Amino acid sequence: MSAPDPLRVCLLTGGGDAPGLNAVVRAFVHAAGRRSILVLGSRYGFEGLVGDEGVVPLRREDVAGILPRGGSLLGCSTHSNPFSVADGAAATQDVTSRLLRRMDELAIHALVLAGGDGTMAIGMRLGAIGVRCVGIPKTIDGDLGGTEATCGIDTAVQSATNAIDALHATAEAHQRVLIVEVMGRHAGWIALRAGIAGGADVVLVPEIPYDATRVVTKIRERDRLGRRFSIVVVGEGARPAGGATSEVEPARPGQPARLGGAGERLAAELRALGLPHEARVTVLGHLQRGGSPTAADRLLATRFGTRAAELCARGQWGRMVCLRAGMVESIPIEEACRAEARLSAAHELLACARDVGIELGAP
């Protein structure tokens, strides 16, 4: 009797990149190799499987030295959803039949998807048409459900905290109000965590529509105490009470809206309210996605990557690795897709922020 064919899986890094993705790839390849699983990598998300970017072998020698590197060895793509590939300005095309054919040609038994909410939603739909998938959560936004942590957010928070530290000195020297716009889409995790860690005076998160007069009151209070400068952290998805999220590009078929401009809008609102300081805006942008991952992100990525290989070896398809009570476990991918992780009004981080005097823009 001949030995069964070894399991062949294809790994991809979907959506926007996040620090720690290379650590995920490395860990998965090592742990898969120890379980005699052959690993391929799809370049630029699903693009390698449904487009022209190609699929490459991933062996231990291919992942040597990538642990501390940002970005992704495989490349990422935010527009390679096989259920909805852009086909002209207004239409999208379902190319899952192409994906299935390619998997067949390459004798790929299963897909391992490192990604955020968009990628997990694809994984869930692929599961429904019979594709075996395992998910690994990554996103700097921290908005994926079902897990206490995702790869990348710790590094993003560290980068934002470093920026706030640097801005403090110059804000004080010029008695300015410096507004720092951070990423996070519709979740305030980066803003709140970096705001607390960096000692910001005001933090505005998307989950709490703000009243700009409270921000001015806080700044005036600081003036009275002789602290004639302030640091205001604003999440890109933050909006004034009764107002809308600030977008630089509206949503298109298969593409969410691109957020931006929340910081400049706030500066204009503060000026209109007679702020007695110069207000300037720093948009951290993709600096939060670049750079070497922190030790915490490397460790989480390595734990997630190795556990994902274990799920493959055991044939536990349709599951996403996750962190629960500090331990790596796994849940059905559907569970991660059920609801985005947002700050609830009762979250202890909000109470913590208020207790150290941070103004949140609402009572």
Positions marked active-site: 141
Number of residues binding to ligand F6P, judged by CB under 6 A = 12
* Rounded least distance, CB 273 to ligand F6P, Å: 27
Q: Which is nearer to ligand F6P, 24 or 311 (CB)?
A: 24
Taking the least distance from each CB to ligand F6P, the nearer of 55 and 192 is: 192
Which residues in 306-318 are b (16+ Cβ under 10 Å) and which e?
A: bbbbbbbbeeebb
What is the per-residue burial (b if ≥16 Cβ within 10 Å, else e) of 67-97?
bebbbbbbbbbbbbbbbbbbeeeeebeebbe
Stretch that binds ligand F6P, among 120-128, 134-142, 290-298, 340-348 (CB under 6 A): 134-142
What the block records as the tokens of 126 is 């692929």
138 interacts with ligand F6P by CB under 6 A: no
CB of 345 to ligand F6P, least distance (A): 22
* Residue 217 Cα to chain centre, angstroms: 33
- Is residue 186 a contact residue for ligand F6P (CB under 6 A)? no
Q: Give the nearer residue to ligand F6P in terms of CB position, either 228 or 252.
A: 252
Q: How far is the CB of 5 from ligand F6P (least distance, A)?
A: 37
If one asks whether residue 10 binds ligand F6P (CB under 6 A), the answer comes out as: no
Cβ proximity to ligand F6P: between 262 and 270 the closer is 262
**Residue 70 CB, nearest distance to ligand F6P (Å)?**
13
Q: Tell which positions 14-53 bind ligand F6P, by CB under 6 A.
A: 16
SS (H, E, C) the chain: CCCCCCCEEEEEECCCCCCCHHHHHHHHHHHHHHCCCEEEEECCCCHHHHCCCCEEECCHHHHCCCCCCCCCCCCCCCCCCCCCEECCCCCEECCHHHHHHHHHHCCCCEEEEEECHHHHHHHHHHHHCCCCEEEEEECCCCCCCCCCCCECHHHHHHHHHHHHHHHHHHHHHHCCEEEEEECCCCCCHHHHHHHHHHCCCEEECCCCCECHHHHHHHHHHHHHCCCCCEEEEEECCCCECCCCCCEEECCECCECCEECCHHHHHHHHHHHCCCCCCEEEEECHHHHCCCCCCHHHHHHHHHHHHHHHHHHHHCCCCEEEEEECCEEEEEEHHHHHHCCCCCCCCCHHHHHHHHCCCECCCC
139 in contact with ligand F6P (CB under 6 A): yes
Q: How far is the CB of 15 from ligand F6P (least distance, A)?
A: 7
Taking the complex as a whole, how short is the minimal distance between the CB of residue 19 and ligand F6P, in angstroms? Answer: 11
Q: Do 293 and 23 contact (CB within 8 A), yes or no?
A: yes
The one-letter amino acid at 363: P
Residue closest to ligand F6P, measured at CB: 183
Is residue 183 a contact residue for ligand F6P (CB under 6 A)?
Answer: yes
Check: CB of residue 139 under 8 Å from CB of residue 117.
Answer: yes
Name the one range near ligand F6P by CB under 6 A: 178-186, 261-269, 273-281, 307-315: 178-186
* Window of 1-9, 40-48, 133-141, 217-225 that interacts with ligand F6P by CB under 6 A: 133-141
- Residues 69-128 binding ligand F6P (CB under 6 A) are 78
188-227: contacts with ligand F6P (CB under 6 A): none
- Give residues 297-356 in contact with ligand F6P (rule: CB under 6 A): none
Segment interacting with ligand F6P, rule: CB under 6 A, options 57-65, 137-145, 173-181, 355-363: 137-145
Q: Is 258 in the site for ligand F6P (CB under 6 A)?
A: yes
Which residue's CB is nearer to ligand F6P, number 141 or number 359? 141
Is 184 one of the binding residues for ligand F6P (CB under 6 A)? yes
Among 47, 141, 154, 201, binds ligand F6P (CB under 6 A): 141
| Interface residues toward ligand F6P, by CB under 6 A | 16, 78, 139-141, 183-185, 236, 258-259, 289
